[in-house]
Amino acid sequence: MKLQLNMTVNDEAVNIEVEQDARLLDVLRDDLGLTGTKEGCGVGECGACTVIIDGKTANSCIVLAASMDGCDIKTIEYLSKDGKLNPMQQSFIDNSALQCGFCTPGFVLSGISLLDRNPNPTTEEIKEGISGNICRCTGYEQIIKAVEDVRDKKYVKDGACNE
Amino acid sequence: MLNYFRPKTIKECLEFITDERVYIAGGTDLMVELKKGHDLSNKTVIDLTHIPELSGVKKVYGELEIMACTTHDDIVLNKDVNKCLKALSLACRTVGSPQIRNKGTVGGSVGTASPASDPMPALMLADGRVVIINKKGEMREEKLEDFIIKPGVTTLKNDEMILSLKVKSLEDYKQSFFKIGRRKALAIARLNFAMAILMNNDETIKDIRIVVGAALPVTKRFYDIEKKLIGKKITKEVIEQVSKQISEQVLAIAGPRKSSEYKIPVIRNVINRMLKEMEV
Ligand code: FES
Ligand code: FES
């Protein structure tokens, strides 16, 4: 039996029928075509599937889609506006904070969510803030640096570099 | 095919309870079970995450009542918890990752009875009790120690659900929580410690509470050791003694496992560190 689901995804109302046991991750990727959200481990450990639900990050691989009725969801696709990248995305590029890029959407959202909550995190706090995301390519130095640069306001709003 | 229900109130929720019920309190464990192939067909999956009454913290008469679906992150941010049961704030801060803390709930953590639960030692520190309601609306309370039978098993009956956790306010106590895990932030605890101390003016111990979890099949409060410490000053010898006693008991209960041995010096260091942190 399918369930009717009403949610907001990237500011758009979504009205969709889902299987009762479907994961949010699958609905985003398969039904809505939002493939920026990735599946790594599928068990809540790697953070590749990170999305923002009602203002807080969550692993969409361990969220039941049915449970999202009435919720506000933001995915990585939400960030760039009119072809311009979000400062966090730009900073990841400038800092070479990605190689294969599979983990990047998750890291970017974790970084943004951390700065929303704590605009001035220490390096330790940044490490903690991205502790739910795993990268198998880069090592974490560049990623931390990328978040630090946004914290230090090296980017203006539209993503262009200040310096 | 599973049957999914999303009640909006506790009353509505009770109506959905069947013998085949499974609760979603945050889903962080259940969804992993599902992925592993855990068969939920023919189960009644009751989603508790949209019941406003089931989340939040109330302060009443020297106690805190933490509603079952309060997330770990809500607890970290809660001022009353921070003031009255600091150890719990600290414990919840170490749970999983930000993503897991945003979804996982205290009630879920208690309900799954994982020995590695981080909030558990802090809850036990404050004489934690589970408040339970059944399908008929009847309530009962049980001490956490009695509620948890063994890993994954509690006294919760099929027609019951966890409503909240009640803990004593330890506002005047100095408190600490410490965890040793495999991987820093994400680790599921391998050894976790909660401690609270109340001192007399003459620097003797008025009350002390010590709980160890994760290393043991069930989280345990060391009442016997606590009792012997009352009235004593915290000296090097006393610390040594306590560390030894706790280590011995942990080993006796956990059985000599490979990983047990390293725990004795570790336990001593942890206790020292926690005392230092609490500045007693
Ligand atoms: S895919 Fe969701 S946390 Fe790894
Ligand atoms: S860039 Fe490949 S996993 Fe992070």
Q: The domain spanning residue A68 has which CATH number?
A: 3.10.20.30
Q: What is the pLDDT of residues B182-241, one digit of tens each?
A: 554 444 557 789 999 999 999 999 999 999 887 777 888 999 999 999 999 988 888 888
A68 and A93 assigned to the same domain = no
**End-of-domain residue from the set A47, A77, A107:** A77
- pLDDT tens across B84-123, in order? 999 999 999 989 899 999 999 999 999 999 888 899 999 9
C-alpha A132 – ligand 2 centre gap (Å)? 14
Q: What is the pLDDT of residue B239?
A: 86
DSSP A32-59: T--TTS--SSSSSSS-TTEEEETTEEEE
More confident residue, B83 or B245: B83
| CATH fold match for the domains B51-168 and B174-279 | no
CATH number of the B174-279 domain: 3.30.390.50
Specify the pLDDT at position B185: 44
* Domain limit, last residue, from A35, A59, A77: A77
B267 SS3 class: helix
Band (pLDDT 50/70/90 cuts) for residue B55 is very high
Q: Is the CB of A139 under 6 A from ligand 2?
A: no
Examine the domain organization and report whether A98 and A155 are in the same domain. yes
Per-domain residue ranges of chain B: 51-168, 174-279
Q: In sequence order, what DSSP letters do the residues of B47-97 get, joined into one string?
A: E-TT-GGGS-EEEETTEEEEETT-BHHHHHH-HHHHHH-HHHHHHHHTSS-
Are both A73 and A97 inside the same structural domain? Answer: no
pLDDT at B29: 83
Q: Which residues of A touch B (CB under 8 A)?
A: 1, 3, 20-21, 23, 42-45, 47, 50, 53, 56-59, 61-64, 66-67, 69-70, 110, 113-114, 127-129, 131-133
CA separation for the pair B185, B179 (Å, rounded): 10
Give residue ranges with CB within 6 A of ligand 1. A 39-42, 44-49, 59, 61
The pLDDT, as a whole number, for residue B68 is 97
Mean pLDDT of A30-57: 96
Q: ipTM of the predicted structure?
A: 0.93
A69 plus A107 within the same structural domain: no
In this predicted structure, what is the pLDDT of residue B262?
62
pLDDT tens, B206-222? 999 999 887 777 888 99
Does some domain include residue A82? no
With 0-12 CB in 10 A as exposed, 13-18 as middle and 19+ as buried, what is B172? exposed
**Structural domain includes residue A36:** yes
Give the total number of structural domains in chain A.
Answer: 2
Does residue A136 fall inside a structural domain? Answer: yes
Fold that domain B51-168 belongs to in CATH: 3.30.465
In which domain, by residue range, is A157 found?
87-161
Average pLDDT over chain B, rounded to an integer: 89
Test B185 with A128 for CB contact under 8 angstroms: yes
Span B125-151, average pLDDT: 96
Helix axes B236-254, B263-278, angle to 10 degrees: 130
Which of these three, A77, A100, A131, is where a domain ends? A77
Whole-number Å distance between alpha carbons of B254 and B266: 15
Is residue A118 included in any domain, yes or no? yes
